[in-house]
Structure 1
Amino acid sequence: MFKSFIVFITCLFSLFSFAQDYSLLWQGYFSYNNVRDVVRGKDKLYAASENAVFSLDLETQELTELSTVNGLSGETISTIYYSDLYELLLIGYENGLIEIAFDNDENILTVVDIIGKVTIPPTEKRINHFNVFDNLVYIATDYGISVYDLERLEFGDTYFIGSGGAQVKVSQTTIFGDFIYAACLGGNGLKKAQVANTNLIDYQNWQQVTLGDFLAVESVGNNLYAIRTNRRLYTVVNDVLTEQFLYADTPLDMRSVGANLVVTTMNDTFIYDESFNLVIQASVTPDFNTAFNVATIDNEIVYIGTKDFGILKAGYASPNVFEETHPEGPLLNTPFSIKAMANSLWVTFGEYDIYYNPYPNGGPHRRGFSHLKEEKWINVRYNEVLEARSLNTISVNPFNNDQVFISSFFSGLLEVNEDEPTILFNQTNSGLESLIVPSNPNYVDIRVGASMFDLNGVLWTTTSFVEKPLKSYNPSNNQWKSYSFNEIVTEAFDNRFSDIVIGSDNAKWLGSFNHGLIGVNDNGSNYSLKHLSGEEANMPTDYVTALAIDKRNQLWIGTFKGLRVLYNTSNFFTDDDVRAEEIVILEDGIAKELLFQQIVTDIEVDGANNKWVGTADSGLFYFSSDGQKTIFHFTKDNSPLPSNIINDVSLDESNGIVYIATNKGLVSFRSGSSGAQEDLQSAYAYPNPVRPGFNIVEEKVKIKDISENVNIKITDIEGNLVAEAQSRTNQRYSGYNLEIDGGTAYWNGKNLANNIVASGVYLVMLSDLDTYETKVLKLMVVR
């Protein structure tokens, strides 16, 4: 690996930084279906999806992923380039960021010079193309051309080559003979300059070859080619353009690979020799009905980056017989709603805006769903989901985990059995109903959103914009019931709901768009309806966005403007003066409201009764059970989160995994916490034995499957006390040697004197403080 750059790191520190590798506790679940660029490098092929990269070892066919977990930014990738000489991968982004991944090195170099240029508008910093000549990279951008020195790892000049030195969009550059050519958009045409000229920063040293809009310029052997936006490819001889071909679709990419020219359109990839003779043509087929983005070749194999199937690989002999290649992952990098179970995760990609409109960005969306099952992804595309659109909330039947119900914010409710969509419930075959448009009585639009199963296995769903928005469905007898909110909401149009949770007393709590918190008490013939809203109830806004009931039956309420807690839910329906309370914390000695004015998107309660809180622009928070202590605050700057916009959070408590859905991808954090058990029968310690290679201080011994209120004592074989902890006292992240987090305790191997214990047998004595059940575990430590 080329490492002469190290000499310059200290003097260039202000211009770049090395990103951290987070792979110890974090995992990324990115989609690699939409490949935006492909390049050949040494013995590998590199492919860039929207915000992650993967490599294919051409000899072993091994796939390796590179994402935010390894230090990438998570921003939207626009182009990549591999340098064989310096053994590095350049990654360019739409926002102007450049990152450099070095072979056999875990560090990612982040270069922010272009982002930091205040003289260039933020919308015009896109990296369009890398062109390497000797040790210099000519970077085509939306403002002009910047030069980067790969040997010194520093920027050189920037060329503004428009009239009078104006900024112009440069789509691609190439070196041909003694000249550098630039394909420009915005009517700025094709330009050239002497590549050896040391004053290319002066726009007057750039000559106008021709005017127009050019998508690409590339040289192959003794020929120079250019493509205009009129879909025509030209040869350029003595600055005269001669048309060679008119494509049916606009060319998306043109590149030289050895002695070949490769041109890609959405439906075809054309491979020419250097004299522009067509060698092969690969086209979209019915088996892989997608759009091509880009292509490259190696050893008479064409590799095509597609919108839906990652890389499609085909040999020259059979150019339309494809093999799909990409790492496993979900369908898309836009997870909207997630639901975690033990060793399982469901993901949907439907979308509606803050006004519960499913039409943003071209909706209602036809996107299918994904299921991570025992570390394998099962992807169900739109053509398999019975035409259900804008799929969102997922509810898994607690009595039959193979039966799943997915809400559609346009089509109703989709039932899935063993990963196969089986029934789409709508206005014709269920208690669901469509919203009514008076001017179009035949219009059908069934906006099912938040849903949840109760303890009896009955599914409760919310339907927006209808008179009876709360529905129950019993899968065991196919019985539907509907509930009206007319006492509170007088107009059907105002029935819009973000979340639903169900308490242990079977009370239903709903977050509404403009009526605050709505409580429903349905006990047999007793039906009570009440809402909490307005300043008199201490609600910062009537737009409730997220709800969670914790282990103490306290209701945590996320809103569009902060966080509230209903500490006593039992008297909600009988007390006329119920109020929600803010959480006041001390920050630098000053009393402040927790998450003041923050848009809360989700709240989840873990086994230790701590709270995971997602926000719309501030990342993810992990609070102690009472909210007084911030244990973690993850953002895209200090973690692998690809975005600070958190769409959803879900917990796999069996494995201590927190899944986090952002608007730019899905990641997980191994928190280690788990739910408490009813008894101590299944409690165990691991690793056991603790071997010399295990870092006991950092990785800790885990005592799993303990009960909710337990005392733990660790002694040596002679009965000397080594460590002790008690639930609700020695909680995790409190700095103790033995800490408890829900159903798991953590011991760092240290004794009461804060020294690491010697080799030997240790006794872990468990005692349930409620039932007086006891259990003793033997733990062997070998140092």
Structure 2
Amino acid sequence: MIKRLIVLIICLMPLFQYAQDFSALWKGHFSYNNIKEVVQGNGRVYAAAENAVFSIDLVTNEIKELNTINGLSGETISTIYYSEAYQLLVIGYENGLIEIAFDNDDEILTVIDILEKPTIPAVQKRINHFNPYRNLVYIATNYGISVFNLERLEFGDTYYIGNGGSQIQINQTAVFGDYIYAACSGGNGLKKALVASPNLIDYQNWQTVTTGDFTAIETVEDKLYAVNANSQLFQVVNDVLNPLFQYNTPPLEVKNVLGNLVVTTSNNVFVYNNSFTIVSQVAISPDFSTQYTSATTDANFVYIGTTDFGVLKTPITAPDSFEEIHPDGPLLNNPYSLEFKNQNLWVAYGGHGVFYNWSGGRQISGISNYQNNKWLNIPYDAFSSKISEPHFLSKVAVNPFKENQVFVSSYYSGLIELENKEVSKIHNKTNSTLIPFFEEFYLTDLCEFDANGALWVTNGRVKAPLNKFENNTWKSFDFSSIISSPSSNLGFGDLVIGADGTIWLASYSNGLIGFNENNGSPKIKSVYKEEENMPTEFATALALDNRNQLWIGTFSGLRVLYNTSTFFDDNVEVDEIIIFEDGIAKELLFQQLITDIEVDGSNNKWIGTADSGIFYLSSDGQKTIYHFTKDNSPLPSNTINDVSIDSTNGVIYIATSKGLVSFQSGSSSTFDTLEKAYAYPNPVRPTFNIVDQKVKIKDISENVNIKITDIEGNLVAEAQSRTNQRYNGYNLEIDGGTAYWNGKNLANNVVASGVYLVMLSDLDTYETKVLKLMVVR
């Protein structure tokens, strides 16, 4: 009955919509360490992290995740509430958005009434608290109180209860006896009104019980409690406030759980029974250096939300042992840079603002490593005892010849060397050519290994900003011929290394810089002027594609250097890419601030932007294969910080300002030979949707012809690497090292059961290979 009613309301109410589930090709890699709130219901504890939720089954300990992959918005969560009566989870956000997740349903209902209310300023739309009463939920916000009907899934009235009906901040509401009470900020105190009154929208029907600032109000059976901004807890009796307890730190949350009053501060959880006697007090454990944020209980345990360890579970009667509970995930939800090497993904979180300023980075950070579907987090504490503070870790480089050796650049402390994921050495002015630009401030940023195993490192605002570390020897290179003074070097956005040893740098003040050691006679050149067709001198991202063409991202669009081999010899001019939309010529990514460019196994381009999501372009940029934003994909933000590609498996890792996600593109790198080529699934069984899921022919070479025939030699499908490329509607498509067949023949009909031959022919080496494929329909 409820679901039928929901469908009717969705048809009638344009401010409701269902979010799409993207779990087929996308995967979320969210951090669940920093918990905003924990609640319980229906045998589960629900924990809201910054922009995702997980739940724990109290019997089986099963953990389920709910994030943008399932349809959540990715916005910042402020509070949650679980309704046992209606078996749904209500999620409130900082921006006023509300989302509802139904038990045993894959869809998320999005409610945007508050979010899109034009008469409420954006800064006042925050959802502070959900208070259930019968079939309603009273929503405390920074503008007043809104009423939502859980049975009909529709909004009722909104109460502006400040003086003259003004908008004021309501932190929490509670129903006690015949009245609804509101805890208000801004000196508006405690207010109350008859809950059954049909005219609560009239502010004059709300009485002021007392003035001041109040952060919480809660009913526990026959008692009413309130907390003011001075951290004092009161029992409210006949509208008189009787002091009960003064907390050393401000209560962050006051709630009724199973007839007990639960008060959470940053370093304690207090559980009181109906006589206001302590049932349990849980202090911070020395084993878990963190802060508490929220708590709930069942009959035996206290479940505590923390800022660093997800949910801590401890016995209610003897809270001296703790169990850490949260899904496996990275350290934080603001990844700054990514590095995928040797089937390992490395994530750094520190970074810095544009032009090496202090804003935009995270001082207290660490790094994460993802391998074999498991996360290993190396927190701030692992670095803080070895290096100076602050350190703003920004980039990870993995030695291709020594997998256990990893270097992490630090915006402050130099270059940090890790051996077996432990800090082993700090490279600074005492043992390298890295020097600080001021006192002990190092602006060490980009680091990348070349094909010979030499590590190249940039160091900002110094005369010699490029450094090379090879065979335990450091060498630096002077850029004063193109950068007039160290102070005018505002930093570098990217560094890539060509097959000929040329170091390409995206400079924030000198556009594109090319540098080559040239056997001891270094060559250096920059391209940044308007007459060189650069849209700005601020270059941000670089990528060398499979044809040795250099793609250049800037603050104001995209450029390509098609001939890199003559860069140091000719007068260079870079090119924009012109595309046609509806017959009109336009510049591709005109005026876009590009944050990263990556090239996949098909020579296609993934281009991240500062505020428009990520673009997936054909090899020449003429076709946009995908344009993912937070509105049409699980991206939690349109701000793309970095992208890295697992070329073997065709996985695209995307770091956004609000978390890390990955996309299974299916595009993989090519192989030198056809020796390892294979087809799967094989056999193709009747349960396999061959048209949509497609048969994959993996590990093929770069320039290959593929013919599929039946056992009698009749041609069924044919493709060639540079002709039948993916996303063009062919029955047989080739995408880098993988080909896709939808099971259809030349007449566009799905083939019958039988044995089919997949004949591979490398057009460069003339190597051939034949695979047998069984199709059962």
Per-residue displacement from partner, 1:697-733 (whole Å, max 9, x unpaired)?
1111111111111111111111111111101111110
Name the amino acid aligned to 2:419: N
Instruction: Report the Cα offset of residue 192 of structure 1.
Output: 0.4
Q: Show the counterpart of 1:298.
A: 298
State how 1:277-316 maps to structure 2 within 5 Å.
Answer: 277-316=277-316
Cα distance in 1 between the residues matched to 2:293 and 2:43: 23
Match of 1:706 among 684, 700, 710: 700
Deviation, structure 1 residue 402: 2.2
Q: Per-residue CA shift, 1:15-57, capped at 9, x if unaligned?
A: 2100000000000000000011001110111000000000000
2:139 touches 2:146 (CA, 8 Å); kept in 1? Answer: yes
- Does the CA-based 8 Å contact 2:342-2:403 persist in structure 1? no
Distance 2:7 2:504 in 1: 61
2:631 is matched with which residue?
637
AA at the equivalent of 1:338: L
Greater Cα offset, 337-346 or 552-561: 337-346
Q: CA deviation at 1:417?
A: 2.2
1:536 to 527, 531, 538: 531
Q: Compute the displacement of 1:427 (Å).
A: 1.6
SS of structure 2 residue aligned to 1:642:
coil
> How far has the Cα of 1:689 moved from its partner?
1.0
Matches within 5 A, 1:34-73: 34-73=34-73
**8 Å Cα contact 1:684-1:704 kept in structure 2:** yes
Q: Give the corresponding residue for 2:372.
A: 374
Deviations 1:293-344 (A, max 9, x none): 0101111210000000000110023213211100010110000001123532
Asked if structure 2 preserves the Cα contact closer than 8 Å seen for 1:192 and 1:206, the reply is yes
Matched residues in 2 for 1:309 and 1:277: separation?
29
Question: 426, 433, 436: which one pairs with 1:424?
Answer: 426
Distance apart, 1:11 and its partner CA = 3.8
1:69 counterpart SS class:
coil
* Residue of structure 2 equivalent to 1:439: none
Counterpart contact for 2:10–2:16, Cα < 8 Å:
no
Aligned 8 A contact 1:342 1:652 in 2:
no
Matches of 2:246 and 2:664 in 1, distance apart? 54
Whole-Å separation in 2 of the counterparts to 1:688 and 1:80: 47
**Secondary structure at the counterpart of residue 360 of structure 1:** coil
Select which of 657, 660, 667 maps to 2:654.
660
User: Who is 2:500 aligned against?
Assistant: 505
**Alignment partner, residue 447 of structure 1:** 443
Root-mean-square deviation (CA), in Å?
A: 1.1
Separation (CA, whole Å) in 2 of partners of 1:238 and 1:395: 66
| Contact residue 462 and residue 471 of structure 1 kept, 8 A | yes
- In structure 2, what is the equivalent of residue 564 of structure 1? 559
Say yes or no: does 1:102 pair with 2:102. yes
Deviation at 1:116, TM superposition (A): 1.1
Q: Which amino acid aligns with 2:591?
A: Q
Please point out which of 505, 513, 522 is paired with 1:518: 513
* Matched residue SS, 1:733: coil
Structure 1, unmatched stretches of 5+, are 437-442
2:19 counterpart of 1:24: no
Q: 1:605 aligns with which of 589, 593, 599?
A: 599
Q: CA deviation at 1:521?
A: 1.4
Q: For residues 251-290 of structure 1, what are the structure 2 equivalents within 5 Å?
A: 251-290=251-290
> Structure 1: how far apart are the matches of 2:253 and 2:507?
48
CA contact (8 A) 1:599 1:615 kept: yes
Q: Which moved more, 1:413-422 or 1:191-200?
A: 413-422
Structure 1 residue 644, shift from structure 2 partner: 0.2
Task: Kindly state the Cα deviation for residue 4 of structure 1 after the two structures are TM-superposed.
Answer: 4.7
Taking structure 1 as reference, are residues 10 and 282 closer, same or farther at Cα in structure 2, changes over 3 Å only?
closer
Assess if the C-alpha contact under 8 Å between 2:608 and 2:642 holds in 1: yes
- Give % identity: 63
Does residue 1:547 correspond to 2:558, yes or no? no
The CA deviation string for residues 636-680 of structure 1, in whole angstroms up to 9 with x for no partner, is 000000000000000001111000000000000000000111111
Rate the CA distance shift 1:428–1:592 in 2: closer, same or farther, 3 A. same
1:212-231 correspondence to structure 2 within 5 Å:
212-231=212-231
User: In the alignment, residue 330 of structure 2 is paired with which amino acid?
Assistant: P
State the AA in 2 paired with 1:524.
Answer: N
Residue 774 of structure 2 is aligned to residue 780 of structure 1: yes
Q: Secondary structure at the match of 1:445?
A: coil
Partners of 2:495 and 2:10 lie apart in 1 by 54
Instruction: Compute the displacement of 1:401 (Å).
Output: 2.2
1:130 and 1:530 map into 2 onto residues whose CA distance is 61
DSSP 3-state at the match of 2:459: strand
* Number of positions where the alignment pairs a residue of Structure 1 with one of Structure 2: 772
Does the residue aligned with 2:487 lie in a helix, a strand or coil?
helix
What amino acid does structure 2 have at the position aligned with 1:371?
N
Gaps of 5+ in 2: none
Query: How do 1:718-729 residues align onto structure 2 when only pairs under 5 Å count?
Result: 718-729=712-723
Task: Verify the 8 A CA contact 1:677 1:705 in the aligned structure 2.
Answer: yes
Structure 2 residue matching 1:73: 3-state secondary structure: coil
Offset, 1:196: 0.5
- After superposition, the C-alpha distances for 1:572-629 in whole angstroms (9 at most, x for unaligned) are 0001x21000000001110000000000000000111000000000000000000000
Query: Which residue does 2:740 correspond to in 1?
Result: 746
Alignment of 1:115-514 (within 5 A): 115-357=115-357, 359-360=358-359, 365-385=363-383, 386-387=386-387, 389-436=391-438, 443-474=439-470, 477-495=471-489, 496-514=491-509
Provide TM-score, normalisation by structure 1.
0.97
2:349·2:362 contact (CA, 8 Å) conserved in 1? no
- 1:364 CA displacement: 5.8
The whole-number CA distance in structure 1 between the counterparts of 2:732 and 2:424 is 49
Deviation string 1:343-368 (CA, Å, 9 cap, x unpaired) is 321111012111222x226x661211
The letter for the 1-side match of 2:359 is P
Are the equivalent residues in 2 in contact too, given 1:4–1:151 (CA < 8 A)?
Answer: no
Are the aligned partners of 1:341 and 1:651 in contact in 2 as well (CA < 8 Å)?
A: no
Whether the 8 Å CA contact 1:26–1:668 is kept in 2: the answer is yes
**Cα offset for 1:526?**
2.7
Amino acid at match of 1:462: T
Q: Is the 8 Å Cα contact of residues 343 and 655 (structure 1) preserved in structure 2?
A: no
Name the amino acid aligned to 1:557. I
Residue identity opposite 2:430 in structure 1? T
